Homo-oligomer: A and B are copies of this chain.
Amino acid sequence: MDDRIHEHAAVLVDWSARVEAGDDVVMSVSEGTHDLAVAVAEKIGERGANLVTTYGSAELNRAYLRAHDGEFDDDPDHELALFEESDVVLSLGGGRNTAAQIDVPGEVRGAYSKARERTREARMDTDWVSTVHPTRSLAQQAGMSYEAYQEFVYDAVLRDWEALADEMSEMKEILDEGSEVHLRSQDTDLTMSIEGRTAVNSTASVADDSHNLPSGEVFTAPQATTGEVRFDVPMTIRGTRIEDVWLEFDDGEVVDYNAARNSEVIGELLDTDEGARRLGELGIGMNRGIDRPTDNILFDEKMAETVHLALGRAYDACLPDGESGNDSAIHTDLITDVSDDSTLAVDGEIIQRNGTFRWEDGFEG
C-alpha cells in the first residue's frame, strides 16, 4: 500500500478526529475507498477504539431510493441508535461515478433526507470528519490523470497542520477585531460588515470544531454587503457547470446577477427563499497544498489565493451567542481568484495583496 495512504489515515485519526481508546467509531466507506479504509481501521485498532464500518455506496443508495415509494419512515430506530451511541464518525468519500445518483428524483432525495433529521443531528453531535480518498472518478471530475490527482489530494491533506493552524489564528484575530472587509479585484469591489462576528479557524480538527480533511480556511459571517463581485473559479452547481458568476449587492441583498454560462441556475438559487439573496459566509482559502480548482467544493474553497462567499445560511459559530444566522435552505459557495491585481483589506489595512498575506515573504503592503 502507498505510504501516503497510511499517512492520510494517521492525520484523519489523530489530528482530525482525535480518536482515543474506548471511543465508539463509525467509519463510512464509499466505493473505491477500500485501501484508505483498511489503513484507517489499522489506526483505530492501534488507538484501542471500537469500530463499526458502514458501506456508503452511491449505487446502492440509488437502487434503494428508486425502488422505494418515497414514504420514508422517520429516523429508523437502528440507524438513529447507531449514531446516538457513537463518539466519532469518519466518512471516506470517493466513489466510482460522481453521477451515480443523478437519476434519483430530487423529491425522493429530499424526502429521504427530511425523514432523517434526528439521525443527522445525532451524527453532527459526534466528532465527525469527512475526507476524500483519491479515486479515478474524482480524478475525472477534476479533469486530471489518476497519478496527478493522487499527488494533488495528498498535497492538500498531508500538511503541517499545526503550522497552518497558527497562521490561521493570525487571520482569525484580524477578522475578530475588524469591522469592515473590503475585497477588490477584476470586476470586484465589495464591502462587508463583520462587526460583532466571530471567525472560525477551519484547521481540519474537531478540536477547533472543523470537520473536513483537507481544510485550511478562515471564515466568518458578513452582512450589509454592498458592491459587485466576479467569481472566476468555475464550479458545478446542481449538476450544471457554472462560469464567471457576477453579483451586485446593495445593503446585503443581491440586486443584479449574470454568468457567462448557465446563469439561470443562479437565478433559481436566488429565488429559493429570502436568505438565499444574502451572504452567509465570507471564507479565505489558506491551504497552499491546493493550487487549482478540481470541481470539488471540499477542496476548491480551501484553495490558497482565493476568497469565497456563500449565498444562504450562515454558521451559528460566527454569530453572537444565541443568534441564528441568515435562515435559508441553501448554502452555496462561489469562489474568486485573488492571485492577481487583488487586495483584501480589513478596516482599511491591506492583509492580502495578489494572494500573498502580510505575514508571508514577498508581501507588498
- A residues with a Cβ closer than 8 A to B are 22, 24, 26, 29, 31, 34, 37-39, 41-46, 48, 50-57, 59-61, 63-69, 71-73, 76-86
Contact = CB atoms under 8 A, between A and B. Distances in A.
Q: Specify how many copies of this chain sit in the oligomer.
A: 2
Contacts of A48: 68-69, 71
Q: Most chain-B CB neighbours within 10 Å: which of A41, A51, A52, A67?
A: A41
A64 B44 contact: yes
A53 B45 contact: no
B85 A68 contact: no
Contact of A73 (B22, B43, B44, B60): B22
A42 B66 contact: yes
B22 A52 contact: no
B64 A37 contact: no
A360 to B, nearest CB: 40
A54 B52 contact: yes
A133 B254 CA distance: 55
A287 B291 CA distance: 61
A37 B72 CA distance: 20
Nearest to A30: B55
Contacts of A81: 78, 81-82, 84-85
A45 B57 contact: no
B64 A60 contact: no
A8 to B, nearest CB: 14
Given A51-B64, A81-B81, A81-B85, A59 B34 contact: yes
A77 B86 CA distance: 8
A78 B54 CA distance: 12
Contact of A53 (B37, B57, B76, B85): B57
Nearest to A82: B82
Nearest to A28: B55
A185 to B, nearest CB: 45
A63 B82 contact: no
A141 B26 CA distance: 32
Contacts of A72: 50
